[in-house]
Amino acid sequence: MTAQEALSSSLRALRLRARLAYVGGVCGRWAVDHNSDSDAWFHMLVKGDAWLHSPRWPRPEPLAIGDVLIFLPHAPPHYLSYSADELVFDAPGAAQVPMEEGSSGFVCGLFELDQPRAPWWRLLPGEILVRRREGGDGLARLVQLLVDEARAPRVASDLLLEHLLESCLLLVIRHCVEGGLLSDGMLSVLADRRLQSVLDGIHREPGRAWTLAALCERSSMSKTVLSERFHAAFGCAPMEYLKAWRMQLAAGWLREGADTIDGIAARCGYDSTPAFSRAFRQFAGVPPGAYRRGGAVLNGATRSATRRTAPRSP
């Protein structure tokens, strides 16, 4: 299994679901707070000026038209503002307006994550800024299509924009891989074929009765070495990763609603549905039935620009 196949396998099972949140303009002394502990947010400036306030930058960072920002749930607190010098909410006159009336304009979306703390997400940078000039021809063309569609909506524009957002995220992740922006853990995975072999087995056969010994045999590594490699890459033991992966898949299958809880338990390698339910509740915070009914993923703080005054970034 190649490094690219390992990453593609992981991303496919993470089940991206994009939702368009806002296409339009802003005016006045505006500011935006879309911090979330459960969703990944996408922002693209399509008109005017904006500044990113984040601990990653010594000073607020100016954005240019076509720049793409993605914030994963483990990103540090971050805000967007009309100004590099002021970050204030509830400012008189700040408002969302049609694109043509705004001093600045955005395409904003969010990616609903079944399990925002899945190991693969945390190996990516929490805050990703891709300048339009840096993302390559493919991302540049996609960004231009997003901009054109946002500025002149047509039939099915909302649906098209959501699919374009999903493609944008995948191209941004590719940019992170090829640009050396990944964590040391992710780099160690992509460089270690024996570790990739273990991941391939887990990803392809999640319901198999895996044991640590079986994983060691597959990788030709000792228990100590395999455990050390997993901890370095993912911060957990191999069997903990297996459990998390099964629960990630189970969350997607529960949302799809095409299989019974008993059937999903079996697909995840559990002989006992009660044992599966206990494991799922420990992982997701709610039992499988409640998750299926929609009570599992609680949105984090997704506050609008008119809610409150935010602290200034360092």
Residue position matching structure tokens 């925002």 = 116
**Average pLDDT for 30-56:** 92
pLDDT of 298 over the 50 cut: no
pLDDT of 302 over the 60 cut: no
Amino acid at 231: H
Burial class (CB within 10 angstroms; exposed 0-12, middle 13-18, buried 19+) of 180? exposed
Please work out, in degrees rounded to the nearest 5, the angle formed at the alpha carbon of residue 270 by the alpha carbons of 268 and 271.
Answer: 145
Written as one string, the DSSP assignment of 100-118 is: GG-SEEEEEEEEE-S-TT-
For 159-196, the pLDDT digits (tens) are: 888 888 888 877 887 777 777 666 555 655 666 788 88
Q: How much is the pTM?
A: 0.69
| Separation between Cα atoms, residue 284 and residue 247, nearest integer Å | 8
Question: Which range (125-134, 161-170, 178-187, 269-278) has the least confidence?
Answer: 178-187
Strand blocks (E) in 148-272: none
Domains and their CATH numbers in the chain: 3-181 (2.60.120), 185-292 (1.10.10.60)
Return the axis-axis angle of helices 238-256 and 223-234, rounded to nearest 10°.
Answer: 50
Residue position matching structure tokens 């994550």 = 113
Distance of CA 194 to the CA centre of its chain: 26
pLDDT-derived band at 52 (thresholds 50, 70, 90) equals very high
* Phi, psi angles (nearest 5°) of residue 181: -100, 10
pLDDT of 301 over the 50 cut: no
What pLDDT, on the 0 to 100 scale, is given for residue 227?
92
**H/E stretch holding 129:** strand 127-130
For 78-117, the pLDDT digits (tens) are: 999 999 999 988 899 999 999 889 999 998 988 877 666 6
Max mean pLDDT range (3-7, 113-117, 294-298): 113-117
